[in-house]
A and B are shown apart, each in its own frame.
Chain A
Amino acid sequence: MAALHFEFVSPERVLFSGDVDQVDLPGVEGDMGILAGHAPLVTALRPGILTIINGGSREAVVVIGGFAEVGPAGLTVLADKAVARDDYDTVTLAADIKDAEEDVTDATDDAQRDKLARRLEQLKTLQAALAQ
Chain B
Amino acid sequence: MPSLKDLRNRIAATKATQKITKAMQMVAASKLRRAQATAEAARPYAASMEKVLGNIAASVGTLETAPRLLRGSGSDRVQLLLVCTAERGLCGPFNTAIVRHARERAIALMAEGKEVKFFCVGRKGYDQLRRQYANQIVELVDLRAARTLHFEHAEGIAEKVIARFEKFEFDACTLFFSRFRSVIAQIPTAQQVIPPLFDSKAADALGGATYEFEPEAEDILHELLPRNVAVQIFRALLENAASFYGAQMSAMDNATRNAGEMIRKQTLTYNRTRQAMITKELIEIISGAEAL
B207 adjacent to A12 (CB under 8 Å) = no
The CA-CA distance from A47 to B48 in the complex, in Å, is 20
A–B pairs, 14, beta carbons within 8 Å: A9-B45, A9-B48, A10-B45, A12-B38, A41-B213, A41-B214, A42-B217, A42-B220, A67-B52, A67-B220, A72-B207, A72-B209, A76-B51, A78-B48
Known: A12-B41, A76-B48. A44 touches B209 (CB 8 A): no
B86: min CB distance to chain A, Å: 21
The CA-CA distance from A13 to B42 in the complex, in Å, is 6
B41 adjacent to A40 (CB under 8 Å) = no
A26: min CB distance to chain B, Å: 12
A40 adjacent to B215 (CB under 8 Å) = no
The CA-CA distance from A112 to B1 in the complex, in Å, is 79
B45 adjacent to A11 (CB under 8 Å) = yes
Is A110 interfacial (CB 8 A cutoff)?
no
Q: Mark contacts of A62-79 with chain B using CB atoms, 8 A cut-off: 1 yes-contact digit, 0 otherwise.
A: 000001010111001010
Known: A11-B151, A11-B231. A44 touches B215 (CB 8 A): yes
The CA-CA distance from A128 to B43 in the complex, in Å, is 34
Chain B residues lying within 8 Å of A17, measured Cβ to Cβ, are 44
Is B49 interfacial (CB 8 A cutoff)?
yes
Residue of A nearest to B59 (CB): A40
Name the one of A27, A29, A42 contacting B56, with C-beta atoms under 8 angstroms: A42
Is A39 interfacial (CB 8 A cutoff)?
yes
The CA-CA distance from A7 to B46 in the complex, in Å, is 13
The CA-CA distance from A27 to B217 in the complex, in Å, is 14
Chain B residues lying within 8 Å of A7, measured Cβ to Cβ, are 44, 48
Give the secondary structure class of A's interface: strand
B42: min CB distance to chain A, Å: 6
B42 adjacent to A69 (CB under 8 Å) = no
Interface residues of A in 16-52 (CB under 8 A from B): 17, 27-29, 39-44
A72 adjacent to B205 (CB under 8 Å) = yes
Name the one of A12, A14, A42 contacting B52, with C-beta atoms under 8 angstroms: A42
The CA-CA distance from A42 to B231 in the complex, in Å, is 18
Residues of A participating in the B interface, judged by any CB pair closer than 8 Å: 7, 9-14, 17, 27-29, 39-44, 67, 69, 71-73, 76, 78
Chain A residues lying within 8 Å of B213, measured Cβ to Cβ, are 41-43
A52: min CB distance to chain B, Å: 17
Chain A residues lying within 8 Å of B49, measured Cβ to Cβ, are 78
Residue of A nearest to B207 (CB): A72
B129: min CB distance to chain A, Å: 29
The CA-CA distance from A50 to B94 in the complex, in Å, is 42
B181: min CB distance to chain A, Å: 20
The CA-CA distance from A123 to B48 in the complex, in Å, is 26
